[in-house]
Amino acid sequence: QVQLVESGGGVVQPGRSLRLSCAASGFTFSDYGLHWVRQAPGKGLEWVALIWYDGEHKNYADSVRGRFTISRDNSENTLYLQMNSLRAEDTAVYYCARSRSYDYGAPDFWGQGTLVTVSS
Amino acid sequence: EIVLTQSPGTLSLSPGERATLSCRASQRVSSGYLAWYQQKPGQAPRLLIYGASTRATGIADRFSGSGSGTDFTLIISRLEPEDFAVYYCQQYGSSPQTFGQGTKLEIK
């Protein structure tokens, strides 16, 4: 079955960096686009970034463009999110999710999330 | 950016009743690329509907989606106890993708 397991969350000071990982199994990783979606404590869902199946096309939310970078390693079945210049408002649970298609389809399977707390 | 506005913010109903949730977009949603998700406390979201009206794998047929352009609806025909949760709509046809703010479906 499809499994997505996020890791790398934790407490980080404002202005610092953090890299999240998402290990995938149960499907042909290189055939699907992948998303990052976040949820601040007690708030709604916010789409963060998307990467196509081959890593060539990437899209970002305005709130993270220029600070966050999405990438993938199809040989390791792993998705990444490099987060730089972190701000308090980046505090959230970060979910990785598989697209229904090779590109920008709706996220169909989700991991359980990893919590990022940005605080001094 | 397409802004999605969901209504009502909270819906109070009893098991067995019919629930109607609305999602209105600030611009036309490309190709009907509108999805609905259910989220329960402490859990990841679950995809219910994609392409505005297609049920995802394993989703009960009491869930149905409709709409096009800027107005979309999720209907739960007969509420079961496990349906009480928060529901989000999402458009994925234009970048950046966006979510609505959610509708909380609570037991009356």
Angle made by CA atoms A61, B37, A36, in degrees to the nearest 5: 30
Strand B103-107 and strand B10-13: the pairing is parallel
Q: Which of A47, A111, A113 sits opposite B97 (nearest CB)?
A: A47
Place of tokens 């605080």: A119
Q: Tens-digit pLDDT profile for chain B (108 aa)?
A: 999 999 999 999 999 999 999 999 999 998 889 999 999 999 999 999 999 999 999 999 999 999 999 999 999 999 999 999 999 999 999 999 999 999 999 999
Q: How far is B57 from chain A (nearest CA, A)?
A: 9
Q: Whole-angstrom Cα distance, residue B21 to residue B105?
A: 9
CB contact under 8 A, B44 and A110: yes
Q: Whole-angstrom Cα distance, residue A11 to residue B69?
A: 42
- pLDDT per residue as tens digits for the range A44-99: 999 999 999 999 999 999 999 999 999 999 999 999 999 999 999 999 999 999 99
Q: Whole-angstrom Cα distance, residue A70 to residue A54?
A: 12
Q: How far is A115 from chain B (nearest CA, A)?
A: 12
* Best mutation target, B48, B74, B92, to test chain A (most A CBs within 10 A): B92
Q: Whole-angstrom Cα distance, residue B20 to residue A105?
A: 25
Q: List b or e across A26-63, with b for residues whose CB sees 16 or more CB atoms inside 10 angstroms.
A: eeebeebbbbbbbbeeeeebbbbbbbbbebeebbbbee
pLDDT attached to residue A38 = 98
Q: How far is A66 from chain B (nearest CA, A)?
A: 14
CB contact under 8 A, A95 and B45: yes
Q: List b or e across B52-62, with b for residues whose CB sees 16 or more CB atoms inside 10 angstroms.
A: bbebbeebeee
* Best mutation target, B37, B97, B101, B104, to test chain A (most A CBs within 10 A): B97
Q: Whole-angstrom Cα distance, residue B98 to residue B34?
A: 10
**Measured torsion, CA atoms of residues A68, A74, A75, A81, in degrees rounded to the nearest 10:** 20
DSSP 8-state code for residue A16: -
Q: Whole-angstrom Cα distance, residue A65 to residue B95?
A: 12
CB contact under 8 A, B92 and A105: yes
- pLDDT per residue as tens digits for the range A11-37: 999 999 999 999 999 999 999 999 999
pLDDT attached to residue A102 = 86
